[in-house]
Amino acid sequence: MPLGDSLTEGGDPARPTSSPQSYRGYLEAMLTAAGYRIDFVGSRQRPAIAGIDPDHEGHGGFTIGPDASSLCAGCGPANLDAGIATWLRDAQPDVILLLIGVNDLLPGTDGATGAVRDTEPAAAADKLRALVRRIRVLAPATTIVVASYPPVRFLTDASSPVAPAFAALNRAAADLAGDGDDRVVHAPMAEAFAGSWEAVDVLRAVGDDLHPSASGAKRIAEVWFRTLEPLLKG
């Protein structure tokens, strides 16, 4: 189960240089080429990408939860915690690929749409820990691969007021795998890309330093693959 926000969901595959891309298609190709038979699961099937397993649980704009965030006035809760019990019950995943947390660092409201992101950046790390603990209770036989977040420049900059919260979020992702539970594994996105997450890897053309281009999505998939292969071999 690919589980997360817009980096999991992706955007318009027909516009690979100006629309956020997902790692899912690249990862599926890598796993298939290596001889693994895998089935992505989840309640979502869009955006559709020809020849790619469409199922996933990527939700653009979602926070970790629980919180009162919503994507529009009158919309339901926009956080993973609110839906995780249903998604796990319906999909019964063997492995979860969890990449979440950056939206928790960007609280605010949109008067035009009624969207609200009701979060406290400093709480993001603890919320990630709580979400993983909840998944462990709901699905004790499932392996959770928890990724740190790629180095978003405007959040890693020392002048950013949420830089400490971003660093804490990524430390939590790594620490969760060191708590003695062999069913919680760390995918080192932040560590793999430190100093090498280049302009070509993000959508600089549209002023977006957050979402990956096709190049960035492929690099994310490579880290997932390197993390997953020992688990699948075992």
- Look up residue 213 and give its DSSP letter: -
Which pLDDT score, from 0 to 100, does residue 46 have? Answer: 85
Domain assignment of residue 1, yes or no:
no
Q: What is the pLDDT of residues 2-11, one digit of tens each?
A: 999 999 999 9
- Whether residue 134 is predicted with pLDDT greater than 90 in this model: the reply is yes
- Whether residue 17 is predicted with pLDDT greater than 90 in this model: the reply is no
Which pLDDT score, from 0 to 100, does residue 50 have? Answer: 80
- Look up residue 66 and give its DSSP letter: S
Q: What is the mean pLDDT of residues 128-145?
A: 97
- What are 35's two structure tokens? 């001889």
Question: How many other C-beta atoms are found inside a 10 Å radius of the C-beta of residue 175?
Answer: 16
Domain assignment of residue 187, yes or no:
yes
Strands 108-110 and 115-117: antiparallel
Domain assignment of residue 211, yes or no:
yes
- Give the CATH number of the domain where residue 46 resides: 3.40.50.1110
Which pLDDT score, from 0 to 100, does residue 14 have? Answer: 86
Range of the domain at 28: 6-233
- What are 73's two structure tokens? 């006035």
Q: Measured at the alpha carbon of residue 220, what is the angle toward residues 142 and 163, in degrees to the nearest 5?
A: 95
Domain assignment of residue 212, yes or no:
yes
pTM, 2 dp: 0.96
- Whether residue 204 is predicted with pLDDT greater than 90 in this model: the reply is no
> How many domains does one find in the chain?
1
186: buried, middle or exposed (CB in 10 Å: 19+, 13-18, 0-12)? Answer: middle
Q: Which residues pair with 130 in a beta bridge?
A: none
